[in-house]
Structure 1
Amino acid sequence: MEKQRQDIVPWRLSVAPMMDWTDRHCRYFHRLMSAHTLLYTEMVTAPALVRGEARHLLAFDPAEHPVAVQLGGSDPKELAEAARIACDEGYDEVNLNVGCPSDRVQSGTFGAVLMKTPALVAECVAAMAAASSVEVTVKCRIGVDDQDPREVLPGFLETVAAAGVSRFVVHARKAWLQGLSPKENRDVPPLDYGLVAEMKRAFPALEICINGGVQSLDAARDFLAGGLDGAMIGRAAYHDPAAILLPADEAIFGVPGQTSRHRVVEEMKPYIARHLATGGRLHAVTRHMLGLFAGRPGARAWRRVLSEGATRPGAGLELLDEALRQRDGARAA
């Protein structure tokens, strides 16, 4: 992968960290469609890295750059050590999760529950920054539970920014820690894009990126045109990656980009071959590729062949060729 151009700001567009989805195979696949969009790992907990010897969770291909690691935790010393480990692995950014509402995260006293303790978040990021050779950022909600976002979000940003954070990704929904599942927390609380835009006007020196319900590249461009510094797209970028990422380099970064879904498949083959040669299963990679032809003729045939065949013992690259043949045949019918 070519070195990032100095005049390109990768966080103008990013793919959200998503548990069980944005693993290293997914990120490599996404990178083939956009050279410049910032990619994030799934959240990795600091205790897993520091106490659990889970450094393998940080493995990534150099082609994934620019790539950021998202950490979860609430102990400043542990987060500092996790950040140091991530920097040693070569990540371009270290992000602290202050937005995940899952029960597992709450039990560890991190994620969205940290919105209630901005001073602790400030202590955490200060320790992380002292141990990091790259930028430390924060992904947060606009508030949690009965908090009034218009009251708490400005104070949260001010407190954490004073500890050295200059870039925030703000999910424009509150998180309800009781009564809503993690899935419902992605859909049920109303979006307040206006408040996030207000925060950019109130804190012009900060880089504010928006997240939550961003469904298209056009929507991302509208947020950028409205003065926000970046847009983060989650599920839409996973389920229909080509619609978001193939045009992204030209539309967002002003440089020529990838144009062909078929070419992406061909460029995935050497990567998949290396994965299979080390004993990996085909499904581990192709499960992320099911949406490549979403909304286009033959998409169902492509998904069917990969879904039914990739989990079979011995499945290999010939299945991708068969999926393309079936897709092309269905498209021509």
Structure 2
Amino acid sequence: MLSHWEHSRFSIAPMIDWTDRHCRFFHRQLTRRALLYTEMIVADAILHGDAERLLGFDAAEHPVALQIGGSDPDKLARATRIAASYGYEEINLNVGCPSDRVQSGTFGACLMREPSLVGECLAAMAEASAVPVTVKCRLGVDDQDPEEALDWLADAAVAAGVAGIWVHARKAWLEGLSPKQNRNIPPLDYDRVHRLKQRLPGVFVGLNGGLKTLGEAEAELPHVDGVMMGRAAYQTPDRLVDVDARFFGEAARSIDFSALIDTMAAYAGRHIAQGGRLGQVTRHMIGLFNGMPGARRWRQILSEGASRPDAGPQLLKEAFAAVRIEAFGRAAA
């Protein structure tokens, strides 16, 4: 059985509006070992909203980590205690999101300017948690010097008892760039993350940002303890089937698409029976056949059909049948 930190060798990043429970269940069918993150959930929402809807997840998703947003130590501690009962393997504090919504709440990337407050938040969370507490940050924001800003943040986190530091290897420009632009315009600086790891040899340091292939991710492991892939994993999820062999030493395997579609159709059926909609599940599967014959037809059938009020799990099987015809000929359908 792998330890938590062994699972952290490869992670799928927390992505707002993307890595919800349905996305994570789908990704877990492709990789058994990678650590999966929730999308960021604001502490106030956990304290005052529907905790089961926000925090509940399928047992098949393990190992899974929760990312929380906030800047009030007391609220973060209370939210962490509530979340603890759901069985997450890790609780992570977001100090990297540059969205306007996050900035208006004075948390996310703007907390890079307040390392002492970050330390207070992390210490409160660690005190409330029996599982590792980590932080995910940027190199800095706006005109901060990345050498100083990242060290200040990291030192405050370590002093607070944090168990690990994930670094998105870009600065965030809170003035002048949109959240979307902040994902790719500020230049990547992996060397800066490498230097942080050299400076903190006893602390888990993971790297995130701009990793487009598993090969690129693998190349970073001699320099850091873990790698985290975001949009590339989401948009071309089929690559995740190679993660367990390349990062965890397991036997190589290929995707059994028929079994995968059956599993996801059954999962979608359960979700619909509980009052959900098919599109809430299938929207995360749109990229499954990217680059393969039939991919366009797959996307078309799911995108158009899943929004119908009466859409059921059979639509997944119909879309897959169309892919099989284009990919392997009518005899395979």
Fold conserved between structures, TM > 0.5: yes
| Offset, 1:290 | 0.7
Any idea what SS the aligned residue of 1:231 has?
Answer: strand
1:21 and 1:288 in contact (8 A); partners too = yes
Tell me the alpha carbon deviations over residues 5-27 of structure 1, each in whole angstroms, 9 at most, x when there is no partner: 34971111011111110000000
Aligned residue pairs, count: 328
The answer to which of 248-257 and 10-19 deviates more is 248-257
Q: Is the 8 A contact 1:283 1:311 kept in 2?
A: yes
**Residue of structure 2 equivalent to 1:259:** 254
**Does the 8 A contact of 1:46 with 1:79 survive in 2?**
yes
Residues 1:199 and 2:213 aligned together: no
Are positions 1:178 and 2:172 aligned together?
Answer: no
Identity over aligned residues, as a percent? 55
Alpha carbons 2:137, 2:166 under 8 Å: kept: yes
Q: TM-score, normalised by structure 1?
A: 0.95
Q: Deviations over 1:261-317 (max 9, x none)?
A: 513222212211111211211111001001111111111111111111111121112
Alignment of 1:214-225 (within 5 A): 214-224=211-221
1:157 is the counterpart of 2:154: yes
Contact 1:261 1:293 in 2 (8 A): no
Q: Which of 297, 322, 326 is the equivalent residue of 1:326?
A: 322
The unaligned stretches of length 5 or more in structure 1 are none
Name the residue aligned to 1:292: 288
Write the letter of the residue equivalent to 1:98.
V
- The 2-side partners of 1:292 and 1:222 are apart by 25
Q: Distance in 1 between matches of 2:25 and 2:163?
A: 28
- Residues in 2 aligned to 1:7 and 1:317: alpha-carbon distance in whole angstroms: 34
Give 1:329 shift: 1.5
1:276 matched to 2:282: no
Ranges of 4+ aligned residues in structure 1 off by more than 6 Å: none
The TM-score normalised by the length of structure 2 is 0.95
CA distance in 2, matches of 1:150, 1:321: 52
Q: How big is the shift at 1:134?
A: 0.5
Per-residue displacement from partner, 1:167-191 (whole Å, max 9, x unpaired)?
1110000001111110000011000
Aligned CA distance change for structure 1 residues 258 and 25 (closer, same or farther; 3 Å): farther
Contact kept, 8 Å, 1:49 with 1:55, in 2: the verdict is: no
Q: Secondary structure at 2:11's aligned position in 1?
A: strand
User: Residue 159 of structure 1: CA displacement?
Assistant: 1.8
Distance of 2:187 and 2:127 partners within structure 1: 36
Where 1:50 maps in the other structure, the secondary structure is helix
Task: Give, in whole Å, the separation in 1 of the partners of 2:39 and 2:235.
Answer: 16
* Whole-Å separation in 2 of the counterparts to 1:303 and 1:321: 13
Report the aligned-residue RMSD.
Answer: 1.4
User: 1:103 corresponds to which residue?
Assistant: 100
- Quick one: which amino acid aligns to residue 21 of structure 1? W
1:89 aligns to what SS in structure 2?
coil
